[in-house]
Structure 1
Amino acid sequence: MHLLLNVMIALILILTSARIMGRVALLLRFPSVIGEMVAGILLGPTCFMYFFPEISKTVFNADVGNVIYILSNFGLCLYMLLVGMEMKGIDRKSFRQAGMLASSGIIPPFLLGGGISLFLYASLAQQQITQLEFFLYMGVALSITSIPMLARILEEQGLLQSRFASLTLLAGSIDDVVSWCILAVVIVMVQAKNMFSGMSTLLYTVLFVLIVLFVVKPLMERFGAKVQKAGFLSHGGLALVLLMTMGASFVTEYIGIYAVFGCFILGLAMPRSEVFLSEMNIKIRDITVVFFLPLYFAYSGMKTNLLDLFSADMLVPFLILLFCSIVGKYGGCTLYMRKIGFSWREASAVGGLMNARGLMELVVINIGMTYGIITPKLYAMLVLMALVTTALAMPIYSFSMGTKPRSAAPVFPPKVQYRTEDGA
């Protein structure tokens, strides 16, 4: 069969599955991203590839897999750019409390993740990975937070402008920045053939970050002011942002750091003007959420075999992993929020939201597979952990606050409404 026909069939199957499961998730009062993650898993060896091996070999052959890989990673670069753009600015007044909340959401799960890595190292780490590299990686895997889900749930509950929300989003932003920096160090350690190559990669990475934040950022702020004055982002301006995104992904991939890291850092340097943020959401958000992200879920799901977990030697490690991931993040954040004066209900709600890992966790997991850090069985465990913790976010929030869950649109940074170029 011609490659184009194969790709079209695969895309139709992936997107249809994602939309159906997304709607099912909404009916069950979960964010649609939960259904889309499940759809990706069901298309893999857990279900579709297991029951229909011949059809799956034809539809998802090696060539089609390569196309899906490229498309999904391009979409992921756009997604990480937007996530970086949504990171809240850190003002000195709120930094202390948000920093402490972030620490309470990073340190306990990081230490628990590192601790269980000692238990999992012999059976679930790749042979060439050192115990220190595995320790750091597992710490990051349990520490990450899904900023888009945080923003979306808070928006739906009408809390986006509250101190409660500002503190939570700022803490989540700090959490993710720290986690991505640690992950970048892990990648450098894994990729380094010797001390010199490792140090050179780290120096190039630091240089890239400094250039983006101290050279590119001021220039982009001027650009953002022009967009704000014009009231819209022109096609030329959008092309510039896309070229910068591809350039950032190329540079970080070339120097030995995962491409999405460059897009995330570039997102931090993007203008914070209302019109620019709104235009970027309108012009890029929908195609990313509706088309590209389901491809990434499918790409991840095709490497996830949950059937491997249905044995005592795998189920017990998974339950320990899940327990540590929830206790570390939920427990740490809840106790700190209670300490600084919030009620137990509010503290528990924040703990539940910070415990959601979502797509951010899938990115970390895929990096682990790409760089040969984790085995397929641990990959499956972490994917299921990401799914469970993300699914628990809204029920924990609703139970804690005593509110009935609302149906949610696809989880993504909220749009800002304004007057567009055509007057809409």
Structure 2
Amino acid sequence: MTAPGARWRLFPARGVEAGRGAGARRRGGRLPRAVVALVAVAALVALTPRLVAGTGDGTGPGGLDPLARFLLAAAVVVFVCHACGALLRRFHQPAVVGEVLGGIVLGPSVLGALWPNGTAALFTAEVRSALGLAAQLGLVTFMFLLGCELRLTGLAARRRTVAVVVTGAMGLTLVAGVVVALLGHRLIGGSAQRPVTVLFFGLALSITALPVLARILADLGLTRTPLGGLAISCAAAGDVVLWLGLTALLGVAGVGGSGAFAATAGAVAALLLVTVLWIRPALAALVRWAQRRPDATQLLLPVLVGGAIAYAAATQVVGLHPVLGAFVFGLAVPRDSAAVEHVNDRLRGFTMAVLLPLFFAGIGLATSVALLGGEPARWLFFAGVILAASGGKFLGAGVGARLAGLPRRDTLRLGVLLNCRGVTEIVVAAIGWQYHLVNDFGLTVLVLVALVTTAMTGPLMNVLGDPAPAPTERKPPDGRTPRPRTAAAPSGR
């Protein structure tokens, strides 16, 4: 019997009435919880094919409606990608490396090889199509944020140095990539004509990922040093050259669907004129108005997001990839505005947490490390691509830096930093794969190159030296790392 006034407790209180000390709780509390959690996870894994496909082998009639299938697949993608990202951060790698690996784990490279029935039941054709559409929305938002946060104001003071370094780093890597692509065209070539494929492949290798580079520089304490500022400026200028070159290549090839270069070029020119003459001033006026009224950010968010999506649709209609339109609209948004920064922070969280992992999953489902196979020619080609991508950046940036008068000790460091490709190369590789400029093997090679070159950046910089952070890089009293003003990065990607 329970004493009058006493309360019945599901979990006993601490102390004598619990009948256990702290050590007993550690022995009898945490261990059963871990066992129960493991049993629950094992049961969920075992029952997933039956829940998803209606049968234990994943081949029977569907047991879930399409919406439930999509939501379950999205939940798995978000969990696995972020778990892999957290794991890689423990090894001092950017989170994007782990998130991309998470997408590959869910694809035929790992999960498809170990559990093909479960993969087929979870990622049906209908689910993959829905994930692809959501991933495109994530790409559009990501490129809009990248355009918003791309700052070219620091280029004027060092324009000669930046021009020489970017020409050397991108030019030599482009040439090396074209040569390697010519030698292995039969391995990577899609349905497009050969010159377009090799030019695209060389352009894809010449990328430097500005967002993940900014994150690596912050981790190394180099953001406000001369070397860090130069690397950010070169990456920003290289981004502009990259997207201009990719736009021209897609327009000339007519791979977007229009098939008429003159019509596409005219439409793009008209869009740029409208952006410069009308849209940019209108956005500046709207932002100034929002700055005076704090509650106006509720209106600014749908205007910016809707504008980015509308621009993406416009470039898709004229025959170019939608991310190009979102990037252009982001460039038109005014900089250094607290209202815009507030909107971007709200948008960035959901994009990086949910939408971008869906894109990584789509890439992972199309990427198969098994495509390298046991054929020596494929492995030799992959090694040649790694050598061309890294050697072109090291040598091209180093020679350019020496011609610009930089100290010898900084030339190799600059090449290592500009060799970081991150998610930008994966986005470009996905565009080429979508338009059949490269096949599945070509996509796999480009994705692996992006992972390898991004993962080697931090360790190589540590090998070359551990520079002391600049005085301005000290953390404020709240302990947070100050955000770089030269180029902000969407969550280090």
Letter aligned with residue 373 of structure 1: L
CA contact (8 A) 1:149 1:413 kept: no
Pick from 134, 141, 151 the counterpart of residue 88 of structure 1. Answer: 151
| Alignment partner, residue 132 of structure 2 | 69
How far, CA to CA, are the matches of 1:16 and 1:195 in structure 2?
Answer: 39
**Does residue 1:398 correspond to 2:462, yes or no?**
yes
State the TM-score, normalizing by the size of structure 1: 0.90
Residues 231-279 of structure 1 show CA distances to partners (whole Å, capped at 9, x for unaligned) of: 5761111110011011001000111100000011111111102314421
How far, CA to CA, are the matches of 1:193 and 1:310 in structure 2?
Answer: 32
Residues 377, 194 of structure 1: alpha-carbon distance in 2 compared, 3 angstrom cutoff: closer
| Alignment partner, residue 228 of structure 2 | 165
> SS of the residue aligned with 1:273?
coil
Kindly tell me the number of residue pairs found equivalent between the two proteins: 410
| Alignment partner, residue 31 of structure 1 | 94
Question: Which moved further from structure 2: 215-224 or 142-151?
Answer: 215-224
| Alignment partner, residue 413 of structure 1 | 488
Gaps of 5+ in 1: 417-424
Residues 75, 192 of structure 1: alpha-carbon distance in 2 compared, 3 angstrom cutoff: closer
**Does residue 1:179 correspond to 2:242, yes or no?**
yes
**Does residue 1:380 correspond to 2:455, yes or no?**
no
Shift of 1:306: 0.5
Pick from 195, 198, 210 the counterpart of residue 261 of structure 2. Answer: 198
Give matches, 1:13-24, under 5 Å: 13-24=76-87
Residues 198-241 of structure 1 show CA distances to partners (whole Å, capped at 9, x for unaligned) of: 22112212222232234322222233333344457611111100
**Does residue 1:154 correspond to 2:229, yes or no?**
no
Residues 328, 203 of structure 1: alpha-carbon distance in 2 compared, 3 angstrom cutoff: same
| Alignment partner, residue 302 of structure 1 | 365
| Alignment partner, residue 48 of structure 1 | 111
How far, CA to CA, are the matches of 1:249 and 1:157 in structure 2?
Answer: 35
How far, CA to CA, are the matches of 1:30 and 1:232 in structure 2?
Answer: 39
| Alignment partner, residue 193 of structure 2 | 130
> SS of the residue aligned with 1:302?
helix
State the TM-score, normalizing by the size of structure 2: 0.78
| Alignment partner, residue 263 of structure 1 | 326
**Does residue 1:106 correspond to 2:170, yes or no?**
yes
Residues 51, 105 of structure 1: alpha-carbon distance in 2 compared, 3 angstrom cutoff: same
Shift of 1:402: 2.3
Residues 48-87 of structure 1 show CA distances to partners (whole Å, capped at 9, x for unaligned) of: 1122111111110011111111111101111101111121
Residues 151-196 of structure 1 show CA distances to partners (whole Å, capped at 9, x for unaligned) of: 1122333433333333222211111111111111222233269997
CA contact (8 A) 2:164 2:401 kept: no
CA contact (8 A) 2:390 2:419 kept: yes
How far, CA to CA, are the matches of 1:401 and 1:293 in structure 2?
Answer: 33
> SS of the residue aligned with 1:342?
coil
CA contact (8 A) 1:105 1:175 kept: no
| Alignment partner, residue 302 of structure 2 | 239
Residues 415, 57 of structure 1: alpha-carbon distance in 2 compared, 3 angstrom cutoff: closer
How far, CA to CA, are the matches of 1:69 and 1:278 in structure 2?
Answer: 28
Letter aligned with residue 337 of structure 2: E
Residues 233, 133 of structure 1: alpha-carbon distance in 2 compared, 3 angstrom cutoff: farther
Letter aligned with residue 162 of structure 2: A
How far, CA to CA, are the matches of 1:94 and 1:115 in structure 2?
Answer: 31
| Alignment partner, residue 368 of structure 1 | 432
Give matches, 1:247-258, under 5 Å: 247-258=310-321
How far, CA to CA, are the matches of 1:191 and 1:132 in structure 2?
Answer: 13
How far, CA to CA, are the matches of 2:296 and 2:218 in structure 1?
Answer: 25
Residues 351-393 of structure 1 show CA distances to partners (whole Å, capped at 9, x for unaligned) of: 2221111111111111111111111111111111111011111
How far, CA to CA, are the matches of 1:371 and 1:62 in structure 2?
Answer: 19
CA contact (8 A) 1:10 1:59 kept: yes
How far, CA to CA, are the matches of 1:228 and 1:347 in structure 2?
Answer: 43
**Does residue 1:223 correspond to 2:286, yes or no?**
yes
Gaps of 5+ in 2: 1-63, 470-480, 482-486
Question: Which moved further from structure 2: 177-186 or 312-321?
Answer: 177-186
Residues 72-108 of structure 1 show CA distances to partners (whole Å, capped at 9, x for unaligned) of: 1101111101111121224533222222222122101
Question: Which moved further from structure 2: 245-254 or 186-195?
Answer: 186-195
Question: Which moved further from structure 2: 340-349 or 113-122?
Answer: 340-349
Residues 233, 166 of structure 1: alpha-carbon distance in 2 compared, 3 angstrom cutoff: farther
How far, CA to CA, are the matches of 1:291 and 1:196 in structure 2?
Answer: 35
CA contact (8 A) 2:164 2:404 kept: no
Pick from 127, 136, 141 the counterpart of residue 204 of structure 2. Answer: 141
How far, CA to CA, are the matches of 1:109 and 1:318 in structure 2?
Answer: 15
How far, CA to CA, are the matches of 1:165 and 1:404 in structure 2?
Answer: 12
How far, CA to CA, are the matches of 2:338 and 2:443 in structure 1?
Answer: 40
**Does residue 1:314 correspond to 2:374, yes or no?**
no
How far, CA to CA, are the matches of 2:132 and 2:312 in structure 1?
Answer: 15
Question: Which moved further from structure 2: 29-38 or 1-10?
Answer: 1-10
Shift of 1:114: 1.4
Larger radius of gyration: 2
> SS of the residue aligned with 1:126?
coil
CA-based RMSD of the aligned residues comes to 2.4
CA contact (8 A) 1:348 1:397 kept: no
Question: Which moved further from structure 2: 144-153 or 218-227?
Answer: 218-227
Question: Which moved further from structure 2: 263-272 or 131-140?
Answer: 131-140
| Alignment partner, residue 421 of structure 1 | none
CA contact (8 A) 1:87 1:170 kept: no
| Alignment partner, residue 477 of structure 2 | none
CA contact (8 A) 1:141 1:364 kept: yes
Letter aligned with residue 325 of structure 2: G
**Does residue 1:355 correspond to 2:419, yes or no?**
yes
**Does residue 1:324 correspond to 2:388, yes or no?**
yes
CA contact (8 A) 1:40 1:294 kept: yes
Letter aligned with residue 116 of structure 1: V
CA contact (8 A) 1:281 1:415 kept: no
